[in-house]
Structure 1
Amino acid sequence: MQLEKELLKQKGREVLEKLLNVYTPSGEEARALSTFEKISRDLNLELKVTGTNSFFLGEGDILLASHLDTIQGFISPSFRGEEVLGRGAVDAKGPLTSMILATWIINEMGCKVQVGALSDEENKSAGARELISTGRKYSHIIVGEPTNTTHIAVEYRGLLRIGVKCRGEQEHSSSSTRNLFLQYAPKVIEVSRLPSDYGTPSIVPTIVRSGDSLNVTPGDFYVHFDIRYPYGISERELLSKISEAFPECGVDVTETMAPVKVSPSTYSVKSLMRALIRQGLKPTLVRKGGTSDMNLLSSITTSIATYGPGESKLEHTDFERITLDEIYIATLTYVYALEELCSKH
């Protein structure tokens, strides 16, 4: 199959527009069923729909895995020349589009590859967890997230979400001798740490609730901490820090995801690097401050990396946009990388 630039850019526009026209916030991915049925027919790729409404096209033991869900807030797709705007254009329907096209092309070439549009990545990664629970393994996985089109992510920080619940006696505000909020608010400030450098864990309070009456002191205090930490830091150490600050309160871990770090010599990383070099582009290896499905999917393969088109700084903003040229470059990158991985496999 000829990898003709204008043809692929036009195909990319068609697929991306279909995906962007369907509003799929986490938990509502089922809305895209008819869209994937059409893509399946158009590209001759067998469709499989899972219980969490993840969509898989094609079959093989090499997986291209992006996600279908977006954050809340639909932004209708629009076009400005070769630039495509809309909710999910960058995170992650742009990368998903390039992966779908690459899977179509490489399967036509005779290499069996599967692409997965996983559900719930912006929430608790139900799609990735469901895939892991099947016991299936893959020889190679490339995760599709925006990495500025020439960057390859080899490391993601871990995630620890903790809820702290404190209880105390209520008093009339005009004659109170103690105040639960004033007791624990300084402790929140004491343990919190905003994101600074990659190697230092960030401990960020995202929800704080206390009291429910205008003239009665609070009888309860709740704070939720979103903690991100790098490879090599102990989750137990972070939990102890919070527990020690709130010894009289209930401390519950609501979500956890271990950090991930892969070697630059991993097959998936090297194939992506060579695919970019083949196009005259300079690849850059990067570490990401957040988390992605790569943190989880690393458990079902020995060869994994993250790569995708689009500027990562536009994620979760109202200004998501991606160019058809970025879609084209990423499609070629996936195809060239898959050619190499297929030959090794």
Structure 2
Amino acid sequence: MQPEKELLQQKARQILLKLASVYTPSGSEASAKEIMKEISEDLSLNLKVTESNSYYLNEGSSFLLASHIDTVPGFIQPKEDDRYIWGRGVVDAKGPLTAMILASWYLKQEGIDVSVAALADEENKSRGARELLGSGKKFDIIIIGEPSNTTDIVVEYRGVAHLDINCNGIAEHASSSKDNIILQTNEKLRNVVQLPSSYDAPSIVPTILKCGEAYNVTPSSCYIHLDCRFSVLSNFNEILERIKATFQDCKVDLVEYVPPAKTQLNDLVKSLQRSLLTLGVKPRLVRKAGTSDMNILTAITREILAYGPGESKLEHTNFEKINLEEIYISVLAYVRTMEDLWKRLGKTS
């Protein structure tokens, strides 16, 4: 049986407008607590709130639909017309989250239990995903709810590392200086920087450079921040050792590391492909240059991928909007995929 389209789109509109009306930049996820309670009660899906202010609906299943409740900063007042909803996070990722909530609600009526996670801090340090990783829980299936144009199945993300580098020099009057840490730092940077070129080629990009305290005195120190991106084909330890060797007379600290993630052409991928084809959607397998909670949660499941409604080019922009038709298609795709794998794995209703 297929969910009734008008009913699903009506519920999607209601849920997404509620979620978009609450401003939840990373660190402010607690603001969504009352809205999540309302959604939980309306759909009869039990709610659990964790220490990170992540939200779980219908917790306890080995099948998990996981999106995130936080957004980038900058509230945008939600608005709607017959087809679209605008607002901060409607694409990334409250639209995908809405589709996942409705899929879980529908599947529960069929006797199929699928949990939903609205994870915290995905746009920052992924506290919600790391909290789940540290919980010791394991899952048969995880689908990450990220905007993928409704057609794309994301099977790979690059990893990221953030490095803080502090170099010390000699402060001298500019009129008679013999030593300049700015020039020395610049030379080192020229030796390590690799601007983005292709997916599998690692990139090493300086994003912050702070030197100097006065107009007429050379700096006594310089601070550099490097953003490193790399695919599963790269050896990050080799990248790190090269940076440390270049900045051997400076202090190099690895402040964040997220490994790359790649999923194989497994039962989950094949099932979602079939589900989309039955909906008249031609799926594509894609790789994304950024990161998501998939990078972290790969460690606690046999099969994982990322998929969801919303145009990925609208992520983090002031023009986020999503079509209710996209959400409806994604709900059906989640539902059909979960139904198929529930049977294949011998689950009982």
TM-score normalised by structure 2 residue count: 0.96
- Deviation of 1:247 (Å): 1.4
Task: Name the counterpart of 1:102.
Answer: 103
The Cα of 1:81 is off from its aligned counterpart by: 3.6
Q: Which amino acid aligns with 1:275?
A: S
For the residue of structure 1 that corresponds to 2:97, the secondary structure is helix
Task: Provide, for residues 129-169 of structure 1, a one-character-per-residue CA deviation record: whole Å limited to 9, x for no partner.
Answer: 10111100011100000111110011111111111110111
- Correspondence list, 1:189-338, <5 A: 189-264=190-265, 266-338=266-338
**Distance (whole Å) between structure 2 residues aligned to residue 191 and residue 119 of structure 1:** 34
Q: Which residue of 2 aligns with 1:78?
A: 79
Q: What is the correspondence of 1:23-62 to structure 2 with a 5 Å cutoff?
A: 23-59=23-59, 60-62=61-63
Letter in 2 for 1:222: Y
Match of 1:137 in 2: 138
Which residue identity is paired with 1:255?
A: E
**Runs of 4+ that moved beyond 4 A:** none
Range moving further from structure 2, 228-237 or 40-49: 228-237
Alpha-carbon deviation of 1:112?
0.7
* Bigger mean CA deviation after superposition, 315-324 or 33-42: 315-324
2 CA distance for matches of 1:316 and 1:210? 30
CA RMSD of the aligned region, Å?
A: 1.1
Please tell me whether the aligned partners of residues 70 and 120 of structure 2 are also in contact (alpha carbons under 8 angstroms). Answer: yes
What's the % identity of the aligned pairs?
53
What is the alpha-carbon distance in structure 1 between the residues aligned to residue 109 and residue 219 of structure 2?
65
Question: Secondary structure, in 3 states, of the residue corresponding to 2:194?
Answer: coil
**2:169·2:179 contact (CA, 8 Å) conserved in 1?**
no
Q: Equivalents in 1 of 2:130, 2:284: separation in Å?
A: 29
1:194 is displaced (CA, Å) by: 2.2
Write the letter of the residue equivalent to 1:39. Answer: I
> Which residues of structure 1 form unaligned runs of 5+?
none
Following superposition, the deviation at residue 2 of structure 1 comes to 5.0
Which AA in structure 2 matches 1:160? A
Contact 2:20–2:94, Cα closer than 8 Å, also in 1 = yes
Contiguous gaps of at least 5 residues in structure 2: none
Structure 1 residue 232, shift from structure 2 partner: 2.0
Structure 1 residues 128, 277: closer, same or farther in 2, change over 3 A? same
Report the counterpart of residue 165 of structure 1 in structure 2.
Answer: 166
Q: Measure, in 2, the Cα distance between the counterparts of 1:231 and 1:212.
A: 41
Whole-Å Cα distance in 2 between the matches of residues 307 and 321 of structure 1?
Answer: 17
2:200 and 2:233 in contact (8 A); partners too? no
Moved more, 170-179 or 38-47: 170-179
Aligned equivalents of 1:182, 1:80: Cα separation in 2: 56
- In structure 1, what is the equivalent of residue 89 of structure 2? 88
How many Å separate the matches in 1 of 2:293 and 2:75?
A: 23
Q: Which amino acid aligns with 1:200?
A: A
Equivalent residue for 2:179?
178
Further displaced range: 27-36 or 171-180:
171-180
Q: Which moved more, 1:313-322 or 1:42-51?
A: 313-322
Amino acid corresponding to residue 221 of structure 1 in structure 2: C
Q: How many Å apart are 1:110 and its aligned residue?
A: 0.4
What is the identity, as a one-letter code, of the residue corresponding to 2:67? S
Provide Cα deviations, 1:192-225, integer angstroms capped at 9, x if missing partner.
2222210101111111111122221111111111
Three-state SS of the structure 1 residue aligned to 2:189 is helix
Rounded Cα–Cα distance in structure 2 between residues aligned with 1:311 and 1:275:
20
- Matching residue of 2:117: 116
Matches of 2:267 and 2:50 in 1, distance apart? 29
2: CA distance, partners of 1:105 / 1:171:
70
Q: Distance in 2 between matches of 1:117 and 1:14?
A: 17
SS of match in other structure, 2:33: helix
Larger deviation: 178-187 or 251-260?
A: 178-187
Residue 244 of structure 1: CA displacement?
1.9
**How far 1:15 sits from its partner (Å)?**
0.6
Tell me the SS of whatever aligns to 2:335. helix
TM-score norm. by structure 1 comes to: 0.97
